[in-house]
Each structure stands twice: as structure tokens, then as C-alpha cells.
Amino acid sequence: MKGVRVFASLVFVALCSAYTVDYKGHQLWRVDDITAAQLDDVRAIIKNLDLDVWASGRTWVDVRVTPQLRRSLGKTLAALNLNFRVQTEDLQSPIDEERNNLRQRKSSTGITIDDYNDLETIEAFMKETAANYDWVTIESIGKSLEGRDLWVNILSVPGGAEKPIAWIDCGIHAREWITHSTCVYGLDHLTKEYGKDQEVTELLDKYDIYLMPVYNPDGYSFTWTDDRMWRKNRAPTSDPFCIGVDLNRNQDDGHWDGPYSSTDPCSDAYRGTAPFSEPESKAVSDYIESLTQHQKVNAYFNLHSYSQLWMHVFGWTFELAPENDVLESVSKIGCDAIKATHGETFDYGPIASTIYPANGGTADWGYKIGIVHSYGLELRDRSSFILPKSEILPAAEETWAGIRAALMAIE
Ligand SMILES: [Zn+2]
């Protein structure tokens, strides 16, 4: 009992203390109504100013703008006839609000399915679930750079012929908290509803589900202690002032060193020194590849936020995959199931034309090793990484409805 009280007060202290990194005066700008002819200009501005891109769609992009950049960026955009508006006046204020809300809510140390949970709470829940169900196991598939375990839950109900695998991971980008909560919800929902809910039962009778709620534990931990908006892992780089590799630009997709990732260690899209240079991406990819040696891996879902997009290959080129028709049809099935859940619409299409071209991404790597159904999903909402608590459960429910429908449609 005493131990519990000490732990609870530690959580309280951690939540009370302010983040080290302050975004006071930083703004979120949306550059909107971008025409095809203006796209190259926008990409050049982002690259030249090394802007932190938060999200984007076919005709818009959200960027974080520091106080120092406001004037010059505004002038540059205006000179190019690009429309923009300030979406968030002061980014620190939603961050503070979220932290205050979390502090008030967290009275227990256990998992809260409809809320955000810190790394230790998620890990404890993963272990507890494995202990409670004899068809759920937990495995550490490697260590992060800072020595944290990379945990995966395996949901494999007994009986029937050997099943194909569906792999779902969350939190490759640390600040995308809704993804961690969506994986946690999936673990809770699938285990509790198997044998009761027909759709869940059918899914687990068809697939072995591999679920990784925290792909990037060092980064996720850092978003709870120091910088809510941290994206990359926590690797030291050649620049002593810049930390971290973007794990979704570090994959050995055959085009890692292409033009759509950054060689600058200070960039949020820094690709690292070599494909799979990072322990997290190396461990996950080695593990998935080893699974393919003895079992069919039918699908790979890599979850992100935000923008409400369902994307398939390719990211590295605008060319379409030979399987584009089937990928579009499965994506549509997923998006329709999402819409049927709470009415939210998701756009779908190839990564390069739906969000932006990118080298070294997970979907292209999955495709390269033979997992044609490799998808990147951008969850709710369309305006911020700080998704209100009231939207956590609906977001998780619709995402799993989409993933389930897609998996049932894949042959
Ligand atoms: Zn992301």
C-alpha cells in the first residue's frame, strides 16, 4: 500500500512539473488551397526553413512557426500568393491545458482506456493482459537506444489452421499520443470481446495479431517529461545540439537516400546515417522479417496522427504500385468502416500524392519485403496532436473498425 502511495505521488510530481521545452509564442499555421503549381514552392520553403511539418493533405499543410520566423515566413508566403491562417495562436496553451487536465484526472496508477497513459502504465497493462489470457503473450523484441524494452503483445487464439499475421504498431512518432491510446484500446477490446463479439471473434479466428503500442519508447517517455512535441527517437547525432532520427525515414525501403527525407540531424525528418541505423527500427524490421520466414504476414499497419488519412504505397515515388487497384479497394473498405462508426471521413490513396513523398518509410519497406498490404494511417483529428480526451475512445473505435474491415477483406 505504501509503495502504491509513493508511486502515485511520483506520478503526481512528474505531471506537476513543467515541460523543459516551452512553445510559448510558437504558432501553428495552415497553408491552404495550395495548387498543384504551388506545391514545389511550398516544399522548397519547408526544406529551406526546416519547418516542423505537423500534418498535411492534398492541398494544405500545417507548420509550426517560431516567433522569430513569423514575419519572414508571412512575407514569403504572401509573395507567392499562398493563403495561410493562424490555426493556433500560442501552442503552449493547449499543451498546458492538456497537462492540467491529465494531472486532475490521474488519481490511480492503472491503465485508463479512454485517456492517455504514460509508458510505465502501458507496459504494465501489456504484461497484465498477457498474464490474464493464455492466448496472449508478451515479448521484448529488442532494446531502444536508451535501453528500454521494445514490447509486443501477440494475440493468437488456439485452433484451426495456421493463421496469417497482422502487425499493428503505434507511436513510431512520439508526440502522436492518440496512436498509443488506440493500440491500448485494441489490446483491451480484442481480449475482452473474443468469444462475445462476433466481429472480434471472426478477426482473431482469422489472424494472429501482433500489437506494438510503443514503437519509440525513448521518444514517448520524453514527450511526458520534457517536450510534448518531440517526434523522433533520442539518438545522439553528428551535431551535438541536435538529437534524434525520424524512424519513419530510417527504413530500408530500397530508396532510403532519396530526396524526400533529410540529411540534417536537426531536422524532424532526419533519416539517420544508414538504413536501419537505429535500434528501434532495426529491431522491429528484423522481427517482422523473421516472422515472414515461417508464417505469412498479410498486413502491416503503421499508425500516425493527425489528418485522417488511410495511405498505401508508394511514398518514395508518385508511380503507382502494380497492386494499386486492390490497395485502393481495401483502403476504401477501411475508410467506409471508419465512417460507419462515428461519421468521420478519411481520405485514402498512395502516400506520395495523399500526404507528401517520403523516403525510408515503413509502408514502402513492408511492401519491399513482400507485405503488399502495408498501410500508414493518420488518425484524428484534422487540427492538432493535442486531441481532447473526449475523442480518444471514438478515434480508437473507428480506427479498429477500419483495420478489422480491411483485414477481413484481404485474401
Ligand atoms: Zn507520424
- pLDDT, the chain, mean: 94
| Ligand 1 centroid to residue 329 C-alpha, Å | 24
| Ligand 1 centroid to residue 157 C-alpha, Å | 31
Which CATH code is given to the segment(s) 109-227+270-409? 3.40.630.10
Does position 13 have pLDDT exceeding 70, yes or no? no
| Ligand 1 centroid to residue 38 C-alpha, Å | 24
The residues annotated as belonging to the active site are: 378
Rounded mean pLDDT of 258-271? 94
Domain boundaries, the chain: 27-95, 109-227+270-409
HEC letters along the chain? CHHHHHHHHHHHHHHHCCCCCCCCCCEEEEEECCCHHHHHHHHHHHHHHCCEEEEECCCCEEEEECCCCHHHHHHHHHHCCCEEEEEECCCHHHHHHHHHHHHHHCCCCCCCCCCCCCHHHHHHHHHHHHHHCCCEEEEEEEECCCCCEEEEEEECCCCCCCCCEEEEECCCCCCCHHHHHHHHHHHHHHHHHCCCCHHHHHHHHHCEEEEECCCCHHHHHHHHHCCCCCCCCCCECCCCCCECCCCCCCCCCCCCCCCCCECCCCCCCECCCCCCCCHHHHHHHHHHHHHHHHCCEEEEEEEEECCCEEEECCCCCCCCCCCHHHHHHHHHHHHHHHHHHHCCCCEEEEHHHHCCCCCCCHHHHHHHCCCCEEEEEEECCCCCCCCCHHHHHHHHHHHHHHHHHHHHHCC
| Ligand 1 centroid to residue 173 C-alpha, Å | 5
Does position 150 have pLDDT exceeding 80, yes or no? yes
Rounded mean pLDDT of 204-226? 98
| Ligand 1 centroid to residue 343 C-alpha, Å | 23
Least confident of 67-71, 108-112, 193-197, 282-286: 108-112
Rounded-to-integer distance, Cα 83 and Cα 81, Å: 6
CATH of the structural domain 27-95, one choice from 3.30.70.340, 3.40.1110.10, 3.30.420.480, 3.40.50.970: 3.30.70.340
Percent residues over pLDDT 90 in the chain: 88
pLDDT at residue 6, rounded to an integer: 38
Does position 240 have pLDDT exceeding 80, yes or no? yes
